[in-house]
Structure 1
Amino acid sequence: MIEAIMKIHTTSSSVTFECGDAAMIGNGEFRASSGKVNGFILYADTLRYENGAKLSRDEQEHLKRLYQRFALDHEDFIDWDI
Protein backbone atom coordinates (compact mmCIF):
# COMPACT_ATOMS: atom_id res chain seq x y z
CA MET A 1 0.00 0.00 0.00
CA ILE A 2 1.15 3.55 -0.77
CA GLU A 3 2.67 5.23 2.30
CA ALA A 4 3.05 8.89 1.32
CA ILE A 5 2.46 11.44 -1.42
CA MET A 6 5.77 12.93 -2.53
CA LYS A 7 4.56 15.48 -5.13
CA ILE A 8 1.35 16.65 -6.74
CA HIS A 9 1.09 18.00 -10.30
CA THR A 10 -2.03 19.61 -11.73
CA THR A 11 -3.22 20.74 -15.12
CA SER A 12 -6.48 22.47 -15.93
CA SER A 13 -8.29 19.13 -15.96
CA SER A 14 -6.21 16.56 -14.04
CA VAL A 15 -4.11 15.95 -10.95
CA THR A 16 -1.25 13.48 -10.57
CA PHE A 17 -0.15 12.19 -7.18
CA GLU A 18 3.45 10.95 -7.17
CA CYS A 19 3.88 8.35 -4.43
CA GLY A 20 7.37 6.91 -4.71
CA ASP A 21 7.20 4.14 -7.32
CA ALA A 22 3.52 4.67 -8.10
CA ALA A 23 1.50 7.53 -9.53
CA MET A 24 -2.25 8.08 -9.41
CA ILE A 25 -4.13 10.34 -11.80
CA GLY A 26 -7.60 11.84 -11.46
CA ASN A 27 -9.71 14.29 -13.43
CA GLY A 28 -11.46 17.37 -12.20
CA GLU A 29 -11.70 21.11 -12.60
CA PHE A 30 -10.50 24.25 -10.91
CA ARG A 31 -12.70 25.77 -8.21
CA ALA A 32 -13.16 29.53 -7.98
CA SER A 33 -14.54 31.94 -5.42
CA SER A 34 -15.06 35.67 -5.92
CA GLY A 35 -13.55 35.43 -9.40
CA LYS A 36 -10.28 33.82 -8.24
CA VAL A 37 -9.10 30.22 -8.52
CA ASN A 38 -8.87 28.80 -5.02
CA GLY A 39 -8.66 25.06 -5.51
CA PHE A 40 -9.30 21.97 -7.59
CA ILE A 41 -12.31 19.63 -7.48
CA LEU A 42 -11.18 16.01 -7.91
CA TYR A 43 -13.71 13.48 -9.23
CA ALA A 44 -13.00 10.28 -7.27
CA ASP A 45 -14.58 8.00 -9.89
CA THR A 46 -11.79 9.03 -12.30
CA LEU A 47 -8.90 8.07 -10.00
CA ARG A 48 -6.61 5.51 -11.61
CA TYR A 49 -3.04 4.29 -11.46
CA GLU A 50 -0.64 5.42 -14.14
CA ASN A 51 -1.11 2.03 -15.85
CA GLY A 52 -4.88 2.72 -16.16
CA ALA A 53 -6.15 0.46 -13.35
CA LYS A 54 -8.95 2.13 -11.36
CA LEU A 55 -8.51 2.73 -7.63
CA SER A 56 -10.87 0.81 -5.37
CA ARG A 57 -13.04 2.69 -2.88
CA ASP A 58 -10.59 1.74 -0.08
CA GLU A 59 -7.64 2.97 -2.16
CA GLN A 60 -9.47 6.25 -2.84
CA GLU A 61 -10.07 6.75 0.89
CA HIS A 62 -6.43 5.88 1.65
CA LEU A 63 -5.22 8.39 -0.96
CA LYS A 64 -7.49 11.03 0.56
CA ARG A 65 -5.99 10.42 4.02
CA LEU A 66 -2.48 10.64 2.56
CA TYR A 67 -3.46 13.92 0.90
CA GLN A 68 -4.72 15.30 4.20
CA ARG A 69 -1.30 14.53 5.74
CA PHE A 70 0.44 16.05 2.70
CA ALA A 71 -1.66 19.22 3.03
CA LEU A 72 -0.41 19.80 6.59
CA ASP A 73 2.94 20.91 5.14
CA HIS A 74 1.68 22.25 1.79
CA GLU A 75 -1.09 24.52 0.58
CA ASP A 76 -4.44 22.69 0.50
CA PHE A 77 -6.15 23.05 -2.86
CA ILE A 78 -8.12 19.88 -3.63
CA ASP A 79 -11.79 19.32 -2.85
CA TRP A 80 -12.63 15.61 -2.77
CA ASP A 81 -16.00 14.35 -3.95
CA ILE A 82 -15.66 11.09 -2.00
Structure 2
Amino acid sequence: MIEAIIKIHSTSSSVTFVCGDAAIIGNGEFRASSGKVDGFILYADTLRYKNGAKLSREEQEKLKCLYQHFVLNHEDFIDWDI
Protein backbone atom coordinates (compact mmCIF):
# COMPACT_ATOMS: atom_id res chain seq x y z
CA MET A 1 0.00 0.00 0.00
CA ILE A 2 1.12 3.54 -0.74
CA GLU A 3 2.27 5.32 2.43
CA ALA A 4 3.32 8.81 1.29
CA ILE A 5 3.86 10.99 -1.76
CA ILE A 6 7.49 12.09 -1.92
CA LYS A 7 7.48 14.09 -5.17
CA ILE A 8 5.09 15.06 -7.93
CA HIS A 9 6.21 15.54 -11.55
CA SER A 10 3.84 16.91 -14.16
CA THR A 11 3.65 17.63 -17.86
CA SER A 12 0.89 19.29 -19.83
CA SER A 13 -1.09 16.04 -19.94
CA SER A 14 0.09 13.81 -17.08
CA VAL A 15 1.08 13.70 -13.42
CA THR A 16 3.50 11.24 -11.82
CA PHE A 17 3.34 10.69 -8.07
CA VAL A 18 6.59 9.32 -6.67
CA CYS A 19 5.69 7.25 -3.61
CA GLY A 20 8.87 5.61 -2.38
CA ASP A 21 9.50 2.59 -4.59
CA ALA A 22 6.19 3.03 -6.42
CA ALA A 23 5.33 5.57 -9.11
CA ILE A 24 1.73 6.32 -10.04
CA ILE A 25 0.83 8.03 -13.31
CA GLY A 26 -2.42 9.74 -14.25
CA ASN A 27 -3.61 11.76 -17.24
CA GLY A 28 -5.55 14.96 -17.32
CA GLU A 29 -5.60 18.52 -18.56
CA PHE A 30 -5.03 22.02 -17.28
CA ARG A 31 -7.94 23.94 -15.82
CA ALA A 32 -8.23 27.68 -16.45
CA SER A 33 -10.41 30.54 -15.37
CA SER A 34 -10.31 34.17 -16.45
CA GLY A 35 -7.71 33.27 -19.07
CA LYS A 36 -5.19 31.94 -16.51
CA VAL A 37 -4.19 28.37 -15.69
CA ASP A 38 -5.28 27.69 -12.12
CA GLY A 39 -5.01 23.92 -11.77
CA PHE A 40 -4.93 20.50 -13.33
CA ILE A 41 -7.87 18.08 -13.68
CA LEU A 42 -6.74 14.50 -13.02
CA TYR A 43 -8.91 11.72 -14.45
CA ALA A 44 -9.24 8.90 -11.92
CA ASP A 45 -9.86 6.22 -14.56
CA THR A 46 -6.33 6.84 -15.93
CA LEU A 47 -4.49 6.28 -12.63
CA ARG A 48 -2.04 3.40 -12.92
CA TYR A 49 1.22 2.17 -11.48
CA LYS A 50 4.33 2.57 -13.59
CA ASN A 51 4.06 -1.16 -14.44
CA GLY A 52 0.62 -0.50 -15.99
CA ALA A 53 -1.60 -1.95 -13.23
CA LYS A 54 -4.66 0.24 -12.60
CA LEU A 55 -5.37 1.57 -9.13
CA SER A 56 -8.39 0.20 -7.29
CA ARG A 57 -11.05 2.62 -6.04
CA GLU A 58 -9.59 2.29 -2.52
CA GLU A 59 -6.08 3.06 -3.82
CA GLN A 60 -7.44 6.10 -5.68
CA GLU A 61 -9.04 7.39 -2.47
CA LYS A 62 -5.83 6.73 -0.51
CA LEU A 63 -3.78 8.61 -3.14
CA LYS A 64 -6.18 11.55 -2.95
CA CYS A 65 -5.83 11.66 0.86
CA LEU A 66 -2.05 11.45 0.59
CA TYR A 67 -2.12 14.28 -1.95
CA GLN A 68 -4.18 16.43 0.43
CA HIS A 69 -1.57 15.78 3.12
CA PHE A 70 1.25 16.55 0.64
CA VAL A 71 -0.20 19.96 -0.28
CA LEU A 72 -0.22 21.11 3.33
CA ASN A 73 3.41 22.07 2.70
CA HIS A 74 3.26 22.48 -1.10
CA GLU A 75 1.14 24.33 -3.65
CA ASP A 76 -2.14 22.68 -4.62
CA PHE A 77 -2.75 22.29 -8.35
CA ILE A 78 -4.92 19.20 -8.95
CA ASP A 79 -8.70 19.00 -9.11
CA TRP A 80 -9.68 15.36 -8.57
CA ASP A 81 -12.63 13.78 -10.36
CA ILE A 82 -12.91 10.99 -7.78
Give the TM-score, by structure 2 length.
0.98
Ranges in structure 2 where 5+ consecutive residues have no aligned partner: none
Moved over 3 A (4+): none
3-state SS in 2 of match to 1:63: helix
Note the C-alpha offset of 1:2: 1.0
Ranges in structure 1 where 5+ consecutive residues have no aligned partner: none
Note the C-alpha offset of 1:5: 0.2
Q: What is the root-mean-square deviation of aligned Cα atoms in Å?
A: 0.4
What is residue 78 of structure 1 aligned with on the other side?
A: 78
Q: Deviations over 1:29-58 (max 9, x none)?
A: 001111111110000000000000000000
Identity %: 85
Q: State the AA in 2 paired with 1:13.
A: S
What is residue 36 of structure 2 aligned with on the other side?
A: 36
3-state SS in 2 of match to 1:30: strand
How many residues of Structure 1 are paired with residues of Structure 2 in the alignment? 82
User: Residues 29-68 of structure 1: matches in 2 within 5 Å?
Assistant: 29-68=29-68
Give the TM-score, by structure 1 length.
0.98
3-state SS in 2 of match to 1:61: helix
What is residue 24 of structure 1 aligned with on the other side?
A: 24
Q: State the AA in 1 paired with 2:9.
A: H
